[in-house]
Structure 1
Amino acid sequence: MRRSKRLTKKNRYRRAYTRDTLISPIIVFVSNFEKCLRFYRMVFNLPVLHKRSDWAELDATGFVLSIHGGYRGTPRRQKPLALHFLTKDIEKSILMIRKYGGTVGRLRDVDFRPDEFVTAREARFRDPDGNEYELRQVVSIG
């Protein structure tokens, strides 16, 4: 009998927590739990590993992204966390962010790591709770 290659919830959870090098979970504190959970699930296609009424863990393929509800948020002048979400199609991701309640800043072309000649397109965005992150599509390397 052939085994299915589809990962079960238990196996995804095990995979997310058993890496050699691991920063996990990354926690996002939100005040609007359901709206933010839906945002991260739908925009980034992250499967739910575990969910309670005010807390969920999502499999972000390499780490666990935890959404914790019931918080009033972080003062906007503080930036305790910087996340860059990589995408293959930045225009599509921008549409998804807006569709699920996020906002997106100006899309710009940038060169970073000049020694490696990496060119990317990026835009800052906010989730429905106002947490700010960056969306990035690598255009060329070398």
Structure 2
Amino acid sequence: MKIERPGIILFTEKYEQCVEFYKEIVGLPFLYDKDGLTCFDFGGAYLMIESGYKVEAIRDITSTQTIIRFNVKDVKNTADVLISRGVHVEIHEFEWGIVGNFQDPDSNWCQLKDQTPNFVVTP
């Protein structure tokens, strides 16, 4: 299978808040919107926010099945930017790297990760 462009579809209850979060707070480049969905560039892939879904419960990070990961050059600096925009970010340091966990308005988990050489995937 040859993938032309990978993407993630995020079904959400709080559509407008999530669109604003990923556009204004996270800073993803806007691609397009139509009929209850908005699409952002996600580092060459896409993140599509789609409305009309009910979130059943607040999810803690240990019970979630998916985390939206943002590999960045400097986790602590990027976390400081998000914190200055009102996002609660928890930094954790491990032997294998640094992560910063945070949630969007619909309680979806996101994570900053330092871009380390052992994590770079080349075609």
TM-score (norm 2): 0.72
Aligned match of 1:84: 69
- In the aligned structure 1, how far is the partner of 2:54 from the partner of 2:86? 18
Aligned partner letter, 1:26: I
Q: Secondary structure at the match of 1:103?
A: coil
Aligned partner letter, 1:103: H
CA shift for structure 1 position 122: 0.9
Aligned match of 2:113: 136
- In the aligned structure 2, how far is the partner of 1:100 from the partner of 1:51? 24
The CA RMSD over aligned residues, in Å, is 2.6
Give the number of aligned pairs. 114
Aligned match of 2:121: none
TM-score (norm 1): 0.64
Work out whether residues 67 and 108 of structure 2, in 8 Å CA contact, stay in contact via their aligned partners in 1: no
Q: Secondary structure at the match of 1:136?
A: strand
Q: Which has the higher helix share?
A: 1
Distance 1:98 1:69, change over 3 A: farther
Work out whether residues 66 and 109 of structure 2, in 8 Å CA contact, stay in contact via their aligned partners in 1: no
Aligned partner letter, 2:13: S
Work out whether residues 49 and 58 of structure 1, in 8 Å CA contact, stay in contact via their aligned partners in 2: yes
After superposition, the C-alpha distances for 1:109-139 in whole angstroms (9 at most, x for unaligned) are: 2123xxxxxxx21121111211112211246
User: Percent same amino acid among aligned pairs?
Assistant: 25
CA shift for structure 1 position 74: 4.9
Q: Mind listing any 5+ residue stretches in structure 2 that lack a counterpart?
A: 119-123
Deviates more, 1:73-82 or 1:34-43: 73-82
Q: Which has the higher strand share?
A: 2
Q: Secondary structure at the match of 1:31?
A: coil
Q: Secondary structure at the match of 1:83?
A: strand
- In the aligned structure 1, how far is the partner of 2:92 from the partner of 2:40? 29
Aligned match of 2:42: 60
Q: Mind listing any 5+ residue stretches in structure 1 that lack a counterpart?
A: 1-19, 113-119
Distance 1:109 1:41, change over 3 A: same
Aligned partner letter, 1:30: T
